[in-house]
Structure 1
Amino acid sequence: MLISAILLLGLLSLSVAEFRDVKHATVIEFPALNCRKHSAVLTGFGGVGDGKTSNTEVFKAAIANLSHLAADGGAQLVVPPGKWLTGSFNLTSHFTLFIHKDAIILGARDETEWPLLPVLPSYGRGRDAPGGRFSSLIFGTNLTDVIITERQSNLRKMINCFRLSEIILLISNLTLINSPSWNVHPIYSSDIIIQYLTIIAPVDSPNTHGIDPDSCTNTRIEDSFVVSGDDCIAVKSGWDQYGIRFNMSTKHLVIRRFTCISPDSATIALGSEMSGGIEDVRAENITAINTESGVRIKTAVGRGDPGFNPKALPKIKGINYKDIVADNVTYSARLEGIKNDPFTDICISNVDIKLTAKPKELQWNCTDVQGVTNKVTPDACNLLPEKEIDCTFPEERLPIEDVKLKTCSISDNI
C-alpha cells in the first residue's frame, strides 16, 4: 500500500441555506449538483411524523415512485416538519432528499427494519453481524447524481449513514446525531462532495467515525464539524488480504475548513483498514480542539484473518506537514515507523507547538522514520534533521474542487 498526505491547519467557516421572501411565500435556496423538475412530499405517500409510526415502507414507496422520473429532469422528496421513524431505505439516481429544518429522521430500534447485506468484497467479513452487515439508514448503490441536503435538521441514531458505489454525490447541510457506528461511509465511489455537516457522537463511544471515504476517488470534504469518540475523518481502502486483492485505493481527496473534537482519537486518520492504498490526500485549514492527535497513520506488519501474509509490510512515504500552530500540547509527536520498513520522505516545516504546564519529558518520539524539518518548535528528533526547506503543498487543483454547484429552491409552504 502507498500513502501520501499533506496537512495544513487553520480555521473553519460555515454557511447554511439562504432564505428570501417572494410575494409573501418563503423560498428556501440551497446548493445542489442539479435542480429537479419534479417534487413530492413524504406525507403524500402516507408518512406519519409522530416519532412512533414506522415510515420505512413509506420512504421506500415514495422513492420507488419518484425513480420513474429520473429521465425527466429528476425528482426530489421533501421530508416535512415532524419526527420520522424509519429503518433502512435506498435512494435512486437523479434524486434529491430534502429535509426540512424542523424534521428529524429517527433510526428504528426494530432490528428487522435493518436488512442484512453481503460482506463488502474489500473487507471479506462483516463488521456488524456474522457473514454480513446491516444496511445503512440511508443507503444506495450504483447511483449517480444524488443529493442529500437539509435546512439545519437532524438525522438521529444513524447506522453507517451512507454507503454508495459509482456515484456523483452531494451531502450537504446535515446534522447527524448519535450514530452507533460510522456516520458517513461512501465506498467504491467517485466524484463526492460532503459539506456543511455537523456530526455529534458521545466522546466516550468507539467506532463513531465522522466521515470515512473508503476506496473513493475525487472527494471533497469541507466546512464541517465533528465531535466523536473515534476518528473525525478516517480514510480507508479495505481490510488486509481482502483489500489487497480488491485493490481499490482512496486517492485525490481534499479536506478543508474542518473542525474536530475527539479526546481519544484523531482529527484525520489514515487507516487502519487501508490495504488497497491511500494516495494524494490534501488537508488545509483544519482545527483540532481537545483532540488526541492531528493526523494519525494506523498500520502494522501483517494483520488479518487466516490466509493473510503475516510478513506483509506497508510502504509509507511522502508525508508533508506545514504551517501548524498548536497550544496546550502534552506530546508534540509520536512518529513510529516499522523495523526494517521505515516511513520515509517526511517533511515538517513552520510548526509552532506551545506546551501544557505539565508536558511529557520526551516531546518527539521517533523510531524508524526518515525526513527533514525546518522552523519547528520544540526541536524535532535527530531522525528529522533541520534543513532549509519549505514542505510543498500541491499547486494543481483536483477536478472535484472545480465542480460548481447550482442554486436550487423550494417553497417553505410544505
Structure 2
Amino acid sequence: MKNKLILALTALSTHAAAAQTPAALPPVKTTAFRTDTFSIAKYGAVGDGQTPNTAAFQQAIAACASKGGGVVLVPPGQWRTGPIELQSNVNLHVATGALVQFSERMSDYKLIKTNWEGLAAVRNQPLIYGKNLENVAITGRGILDGAGEAWWMVQKARTLESEWKKLVASGGALNEKQDRWYPTAQALKGTTVKEAGVLTEEKKEVADFEDIKDYLRPDFLVLDGCKRLLIEGVTFQNSPAWTVHPLLSDDVVVRNVTVINPPYSPNTDALDLESCRNGLVEGCSFSAGDDGICIKSGRNEQGRARGVATENFLIRNCTVYRAHGGFVIGSEMSGGARNIYASNLTFIGTDIGLRFKTTRGRGGVVENIFIDHITMKDILNEALLFDMYYMIRDPSPQVPGSKERPASPPKPVDAGTPQFRKIYITDVTCNGAKTGMLVRGLPEMAIQDISLKNAVLRSEQGLVCIEADRISLSNVTLLPTQTDPVMEVHNSRNITLDGIRYAQGAAVLLRVSGPEKAQNIRLLNTDASKAKQALELGVGVNRKVVTVTKK
C-alpha cells in the first residue's frame, strides 16, 4: 500500500482546439495509517461462511479507531456479515483469499435518510457506510460480495426459461404482465410509487417508507462528506444498487478496483463520483448493469441548491466492459462538473462509450473536460454521445421517407436549462457502433465548444449534429455503413469539419438542414470527390452558409 505517496495531478496536454490549457490540478491529499493491526478474528469472527460476524467487524473497527487508527484485517476465509460502518483513521484491509459475504436478509438493513440519484431520499442503509469521516480506506485483494440477487428485479425476456421457472417457484411476486419478478410483494409495490423513496412534504420520516422498504435497494459503499479516501485493490461484486459512491467528499483515490455486476442487474453503476473534489481514479476494471465511470452532482433544484460540482479529477488506465456507458457525465449534474481529465480508457461491449447526458430541469454547467486515448469495441449505440434529451422521446424525429427534421420549439432559458461546453477529445478509435458521434442540444441551448481530433470511428451512422455551436472535427475518419449522409448537421452553426476521411463511393458526404439556424458550416481539407454527392442542402438552406475547400 502506497498510503504515503503524495499525488500531484498536473494538467494533461491537450490539442490546439482547447485554445488554452487549464492550470494544474491541485494535489490530492492522501491517507496515512498507523501500523497497528486489529484482526476481526480476534474479536470473535469465524470465517466458515456460516457464522454471522457483524458484531466482530464493528468491534474491531471501534477498537482500531479508539487507539488512534490503524488496519482492521479481514484474513483469508469466508466472512458473513450484515452492514458495516467505518470510522476515521481506519483502513479496512480485505486480504487475498478473503471473501466478505454480505447478508441477503433484507431485515438486516434498516432504512435511513440519505441521497439517491441526486435527491434527498430514504433507502436501506449501505452495505459499507461512512459519514463525515477523515482518513479512511478499504484496501487489499479480497472480494466483497453484496448479495444483490436478493434485491434485484428480474426480467423474463433476459432469463433462460428454466431459470425463470425456478425463480417463480421460489416465491416473490410477479407484475401484471407476468414478465417481471420481484423478490417480495413490497419490492413490487415500490414500482407503483412515483419517485419512490424521495423525501417530500407529505413523506418526511423514515417510517413513511416502511411499506416499500424492500424496493429501496441499498448502495454497496457510500462515503458521505468524507476527506482523504482510499479504495484500492478490492473487488466489489453483486451490488444491490450503485457500487462505489463517494458523495460530497474531498481527496478521493480509487485505484486498481474491480467491480463485477451482472448486465441485467438494475442501477448497479460501478463508480459514482458525486459532488466530489480532487481525486484520482486509475487502473480499475468495471462491468456493471448500469453506467461504468460516472460523474454526478445532484439533481434539479436540490442539486443546484447544493451547488457542489464534481471537479479536479484525473481518471486514467481503466477498462469498462458491459455497462450502459463507459465514461459518463450526468444525468444528475445540476451542481456542475469541471476540470475532469480522462485518459487511456477502454470500453468493450458497453451500450455507449463516452456518454454526456442531461435534460431540461437539471440546470448545471459541464465544462473543461479533457479526454484522450479512448479505445472502443462493439458499442451497442453511440460511441460519443452528447444528449440533452435524456429519457425523453426524440424531439424531432424524421418522418419516414423524408430527410427533413420537424421543428422543435424552444423553451425559455432559466435556472433549469443545462449546459455542455468546452469538451475536448483526442485520439479515439471505435470498431463497431450504431452511431459514431451524436450531438443533440436543446433549441434554446446549443451544445457548445466540442472538439474531436484524431479519431477513427466505424459505425452504422457517422456524425449526427443537432442544435450545436462551435463543434470541430479534425483529422477524423468516419466509416459508417449508412452513407446517406456520412455527416448530418441540423440547426447548427460554426461547425468545422477539417480533414475528414471516409470510404469511397459514399452516397452523400454532408447534409445541412435547418434554415433558421444553419450558419458558418465549413468542410475543409477533405476530398469530397469520393462521394457521389458532396453536399446536400435541406429545404430553405442557403448555399452560402456552407464553405467547402478542396484538399
Structure 2 residue 433 is matched with structure 1 residue 329: yes
Distance 1:292 1:161 in 2: 23
Shift in alpha-carbon separation, 1:223–1:190, aligned structure 2, 3 A: same
Shift in alpha-carbon separation, 1:369–1:316, aligned structure 2, 3 A: same
Deviations 1:271-318 (A, max 9, x none): 1111111111110000010112211111111269xxxx9982001101
Deviations 1:22-75 (A, max 9, x none): xxxxxxxxxx832423111101111122222221122111111211112xxx22
Aligned to 1:173: 233
Deviations 1:152-198 (A, max 9, x none): 43434364222222310110001111112111000010001001011
Shift in alpha-carbon separation, 1:227–1:6, aligned structure 2, 3 A: farther
Aligned to 1:230: 290
Structure 1: which 5+ residue stretches go unaligned?
A: 9-31, 127-131, 389-414
Shift in alpha-carbon separation, 1:222–1:7, aligned structure 2, 3 A: farther
Aligned to 1:347: 451
Aligned residue runs from structure 1 range 58-69, under 5 A: 58-69=56-67
| Count of aligned pairs between the two proteins | 344
Aligned to 1:135: 125
Of 462, 466, 476 in structure 2, the residue corresponding to residue 367 of structure 1 is: 466
Shift in alpha-carbon separation, 1:122–1:351, aligned structure 2, 3 A: closer
Structure 2 residue 261 is matched with structure 1 residue 261: no
Shift in alpha-carbon separation, 1:272–1:96, aligned structure 2, 3 A: same
Aligned residue runs from structure 1 range 233-382, under 5 A: 233-262=293-322, 265-302=324-361, 312-355=416-459, 359=460, 362-370=461-469, 371-378=471-478, 380-382=487-489
Distance 1:312 1:94 in 2: 40
Shift in alpha-carbon separation, 1:290–1:123, aligned structure 2, 3 A: closer
Aligned to 2:42: 44
Of 488, 496, 508 in structure 2, the residue corresponding to residue 385 of structure 1 is: 496
Could you say what secondary structure the match of 1:231 adopts? Answer: coil
Could you say what secondary structure the match of 2:41 adopts? Answer: helix
Of 123, 131, 134 in structure 2, the residue corresponding to residue 144 of structure 1 is: 134
AA aligned to 2:44 is: G
Structure 1 residue 329: Cα displacement: 2.9
Could you say what secondary structure the match of 1:136 adopts? Answer: coil
- Structure number with the bigger relative contact order (C-alpha 8 A, sep ≥ 6) is 1
Distance 1:80 1:234 in 2: 32
- Preserved CA contact (<8 Å) 1:116 1:134: yes
Distance 1:267 1:76 in 2: 33
TM-score (norm: length of structure 2): 0.59
Deviations 1:186-239 (A, max 9, x none): 001000100101111111222110000000000211101001121101111112
Aligned to 2:52: 54
Identical aligned residues as a percent: 30
Shift in alpha-carbon separation, 1:152–1:51, aligned structure 2, 3 A: closer
Structure 1 residue 385: Cα displacement: 1.9
Of 92, 102, 107 in structure 1, the residue corresponding to residue 102 of structure 2 is: 107
Of 62, 75, 82 in structure 2, the residue corresponding to residue 80 of structure 1 is: 75
- Preserved CA contact (<8 Å) 1:215 1:237: yes
Structure 1 residue 119: Cα displacement: 3.1
Structure 1 residue 387: Cα displacement: 4.4
Aligned to 1:402: none
Structure 2: which 5+ residue stretches go unaligned?
A: 1-10, 15-29, 149-217, 364-412, 479-485, 500-551
Distance 1:107 1:182 in 2: 15
Deviations 1:59-113 (A, max 9, x none): 111111211112xxx2211111221111112111111111121111111122232
AA aligned to 1:46 is: G
TM-score (norm: length of structure 1): 0.78
Distance 2:123 2:284 in 1: 28
Could you say what secondary structure the match of 2:114 adopts? Answer: coil
Aligned to 1:404: none
Aligned to 1:399: none
Which is higher, the Rg of structure 1 or of structure 2? 2
Aligned to 2:391: none
Shift in alpha-carbon separation, 1:172–1:134, aligned structure 2, 3 A: same
Distance 2:120 2:144 in 1: 31
Structure 1 residue 380: Cα displacement: 4.8
| Aligned alpha-carbon RMSD (Å) | 2.6
Distance 2:353 2:51 in 1: 42
